[in-house]
Amino acid sequence: MDLKKLLNKEQYEAAVTVNGPLLILAGAGSGKTRVLTYRIAHMIEDLNIYPSKILAITFTNKAAGEMRERIRGLVGNEVDHMWVSTFHSSCVRILRREIDKLGYNKNFAIYDSYDQKVLIKQCMEELNINEKDITDREIINKIGEQKDNLVSPQQFKRENEQNFRLNKIADMYLLYQKKLKNNNALDFDDLIYKTVELFKKNEDVLEFYQRKFQYIMVDEYQDTNKSQYELVRLLSAKQKNICVVGDDDQCIYAWRGADIKNILEFEKDYPEAKVIKLEQNYRSKANILKAANEVIKNNTYRKNKILRTEDENGEKIKIYRAYSDIDEGMYVANQIKRFREEENKSYKDFAILYRTNAQSRVFEDVFMKSNIPYRIIGGLKFYDRKEIKDIMAYLKFINNPLDDVSLRRIINVPKRSIGDATVQKVQEFAASMDECMYSVLLDIEEVLSLSARSISSIKKFVSLVNSFIRTRDQVSVSALIKEILDTTGYLKELKESKEIDAISRIENLKELVSAAVEFESTSEDKSLSAFLEKVTLVSDVDNFDEDANTVVMMTVHSAKGLEFPIVFMVGMENGIFPGTQSLNDYNEMEESRRLCYVGITRARERLYMTSAESRRVFGKTVSYSQSDFIDEISNDLKEMEGASRRGFSSFGNTNVNSRTNNVNRSINDSIGRNSFNSQSSSPKVSNMAYTAADAVNSQKSANDLKPEDVKAGAKVRHSKFGIGTIVSVSKDGSNTRLTIAFDKMGIKNLMYGVAPLEAV
Q: Is 561 annotated as a binding residue?
A: no
How far is residue 58's CA from residue 90's CA, in Å, rounded to a whole number? 10
DSSP conformation class of 280: B
With beta carbons less than 8 A apart as the criterion, state whether 478 and 523 touch.
Answer: no
- HSE-CB at 498 with a 13 A cutoff on CA atoms is 0
Q: Is 32 annotated as a binding residue?
A: yes
- Spatial neighbors of 274 by CB under 8 A, at least 6 apart, are 17, 20, 21, 22, 23
How far is residue 548's CA from residue 546's CA, in Å, rounded to a whole number? 6
Beta bridge partners of 638: 317
Is the Cα torsion angle 340, 629, 595, 264 positive or negative in sign?
positive
- Taking 3-state DSSP, the helix, strand and coil percentages for the chain, each rounded to the nearest 5, stand at 55, 15, 30
What is the enclosing helix (H) or strand (E) of 566?
A: strand 564-569
The amino acid present at 167, given as its one-letter code, is N
Question: Angle at Cα 248 formed by Cα 33 and Cα 233, nearest 5°?
Answer: 75
SS3 state of residue 400:
coil
Q: Is 378 annotated as a binding residue?
A: no
How far is residue 86's CA from residue 589's CA, in Å, rounded to a whole number? 29
How far is residue 59's CA from residue 55's CA, in Å, rounded to a whole number? 13
DSSP conformation class of 579: B
Q: What is the 3-state secondary structure (H, E, C) of 226-256?
A: HHHHHHHHHHHCCCCCEEEEECHHHCCCHHH
How far is residue 147's CA from residue 180's CA, in Å, rounded to a whole number? 14
DSSP conformation class of 83: E
Beta bridge partners of 308: 280
Q: Is 314 annotated as a binding residue?
A: no
Q: Is 29 annotated as a binding residue?
A: yes
Cβ neighbours around 570 below 10 Å, total = 30
The number of residues making up the chain comes to 760
How far is residue 713's CA from residue 522's CA, in Å, rounded to a whole number? 72
Q: Is 28 annotated as a binding residue?
A: yes
Looking at the chain, the number of H-run helices and the number of E-run strands are 31, 22
SS3 state of residue 216:
strand
Of the candidates 292, 285, 214, the one whose C-alpha atom is nearest the C-alpha of residue 247 is 292
Q: What would the DSSP string read from start to end of 675-740?
A: G--GGG--HHHHHHHHHHHHHHHHTTTGGGS-GGG-STT-EEEETTTEEEEEEEEEEETTEEEEEE
Catalytic residues: 32-33, 219-220, 250, 602
Of the candidates 88, 129, 90, 127, the one whose C-alpha atom is nearest the C-alpha of residue 111 is 88
Q: Is 27 annotated as a binding residue?
A: yes
With beta carbons less than 8 A apart as the criterion, state whether 43 and 49 touch.
Answer: yes
How far is residue 135's CA from residue 129's CA, in Å, rounded to a whole number? 9
Give the CA-trace dihedral at 99, 103, 107, 110, to 10 degrees: -80
- HSE-CB at 646 with a 13 A cutoff on CA atoms is 11
Cα 184 off chain centre by = 27
Max Cα distance, the chain (Å): 89
Which residues are documented as binding site?
Answer: 26-33
Which residues are documented as binding site for ATP?
Answer: 26-33
